Structure 1
Amino acid sequence: MENQKEVSILNDLLHITNDRIQGFAKVEGKIWEKYPHEKGEYARMVSLGKVMKNELIDLIKENGGEAEDSASIAGALHRTWIDVKNSFTIGNTEESALENVIFGEKAAVDTYQNAIDNGNLSGKSLEIVSEHLKHIKDSYDQFKNISDYKTKE
């Protein structure tokens, strides 16, 4: 089945999208006390992540596949590592949480870009995944700008 490769790629992206949603949930409240002006943008990114998840599930089904609607093992290990690291962090947990979000968003950008570059996505999937990549890049830039601003303080 030709769509098998496309379904596999879309499922990988679904795992990454679920990782993002779970990662955002982990940092909720850790950054926004110090940067409340960013909370609305954060809420928009979380909402958009859920829309992206549903779009990926629809694409997988349209391509005859079954959605693997879970987070990745690597993402789960990363979140566990963050929990352990934060349990030993003294001081600025906002900075640590922000660094972890930036790391995760960069990983998502790279994964989505690789999915596009490999040439195995069809027209509709390529269009939607490209739009998702734009949103993830915007999210990455948003969090990176907060981090850059923090550095200047």
Structure 2
Amino acid sequence: MKNQEEVSVLNDLLHITNDRIQGFSKVEGKIWEKYPDVKDDYDRMITQSKIMKNELIDLIQENGEKASDTSSVAGALHRTWIDIKNSFTIGNTEESTLENVIFGENAAIDAYQNAIDTGNLSENSLDIVSEHLKNIKDSYHQFKGISNYKNKD
């Protein structure tokens, strides 16, 4: 039973990671004109997210299960909401885009922390998921810093 609980938690994280990858693709190009110095960090976050995805799939397969390699319904709804909201945004869409990235990264932090707190992860999975959480927190702080810098303009 412990194996099934771990796989369920890992699949949930895989959905969140896929949400991040799809969310990042929506940001592509929307803030680079005004903040070109962020592009390298952004590219690193996308690459890192893809590595995280592969690591989660590997952990699920090591548990003898098939990965549920899709995004979440909540993530799809959030991206749709962002599209609708941005279509009605007058003025600076960069600010709205940054706010949405920060919101998404904060949600990912909560999901990863909850996964760790379940106690359903093996030591190996816990080590990898903890490293993922650190990476997501770094991403969150990066985008939060950009937002704070932008608000000073």
Structure 1, gaps ≥5 residues long: none
1-structure distance, mates of 2:96, 2:33: 14
Partner residue, 1:40: 40
TM-score of the superposed pair, with normalisation by structure 2: 0.99
Question: Matched residues, percent identical?
Answer: 76
2-structure distance, mates of 1:99, 1:16: 18
1-structure distance, mates of 2:54, 2:118: 23
- In the TM superposition, 1:56-67 aligns within 5 A as 56-67=56-67
Tell me the matched-pair count: 153
- In the TM superposition, 1:66-145 aligns within 5 A as 66-145=66-145
Q: Secondary structure at the match of 2:53?
A: helix
Runs of 4+ in 1 over 2 A off after TM superposition: none
Alpha-carbon deviation of 1:75? 0.1
2-structure distance, mates of 1:8, 1:2: 10
Residue-by-residue CA offset, 1:68-103 (whole Å, 9 max, x unaligned): 001000000000011011111111011101100000
Partner residue, 1:19: 19
Q: Secondary structure at the match of 1:37?
A: helix
Partner residue, 1:152: 152
Answer yes or no: is 1:53 the counterpart of 2:57. Answer: no
Q: Do 2:32 and 2:38's aligned partners in 1 also have CA atoms closer than 8 Å?
A: yes
2-structure distance, mates of 1:123, 1:94: 40
Residue-by-residue CA offset, 1:118-138 (whole Å, 9 max, x unaligned): 111001000000000000000
Q: Secondary structure at the match of 2:15?
A: helix
Residue-by-residue CA offset, 1:34-84 (whole Å, 9 max, x unaligned): 100010000000000000000000000101221000100000000001101
Q: Secondary structure at the match of 1:30?
A: coil
Code of the aligned partner of 1:120 = N
TM-score of the superposed pair, with normalisation by structure 1: 0.99
Alpha-carbon deviation of 1:2? 2.2
Please report the RMSD computed on the Cα atoms of aligned residues, expressed in angstroms. Answer: 0.6
